[in-house]
Structure 1
Amino acid sequence: MIPFSDEELYEPILESLKVVMPMLERDGGGMKLLGIKNGVVYVQLIGHCNGCAASGQTLKFGIEKQIRNDIHPELTVVNIPIGQEFDISKM
């Protein structure tokens, strides 16, 4: 169980994402933090990262790994593709 509330995780996750953002930007991509619920971090890959064949690897072995190392090993990251409806209250 993650010992932090979603609200407590928000700022640390933003800081952690800043570490991986240059990697995404070098390839013409980026990401938006959409929200956090029950230890699941919802992001949206944008730019060249959106629809990239390697985006799954980037998500798990780049973004999620960084967040787990920085904050807590049970956090997970989910990409919400551009155009897909997202309502965090329904997650």
Structure 2
Amino acid sequence: MKEKVLKVMEEIIRPQLAKHYGDISLVDVKDNVVYVKLLGACSGCPSARFTIEDVVLASLQNEIPSIEKVELVQEVSSELLDMAKKILRKGE
């Protein structure tokens, strides 16, 4: 299944993201769920959730109907995010 996902990413998804200076990386495929990281301008973009649903999931399901879900893997650990939130809240 990974090979099929990589092919769809390379031929369909990556060119769409490149138009917006973004990219995508496959992390894993488990139980019909695809785990990805968004890169470039797409990384951290407020529209990342819509990109995952409207571009990535739709393209994958069109080519591989057994794909149930696409999960965005955070590049920053949850511990680091929690620490940053604490620091930022002190400035309020």
Q: TM-score, normalised by structure 2?
A: 0.77
Overall identity of the aligned pairs, in %: 26
What SS is found at the alignment partner of 2:76?
coil
Structure with higher Rg: it is: 2
The corresponding residue for 2:25 is 32
> In 1, distance between residues paired with 2:34 and 2:23?
15
More relative contact order, 1 or 2 (CA 8 Å, 6+ apart) = 1
Q: TM-score, normalised by structure 1?
A: 0.77
CA-based RMSD of the aligned residues comes to 1.4
Equivalent residue letter for 2:74: P
Structure 2 unaligned blocks of 5 or more: 79-92
Cα pair distance change 1:78/1:34, threshold 3 Å: same
Aligned residues: 77
Runs of 4+ in 1 over 2 A off after TM superposition: none
**From 6, 9, 34, the counterpart of 1:17:** 9
Comparing both structures, which one devotes a greater share of its residues to helix? 2
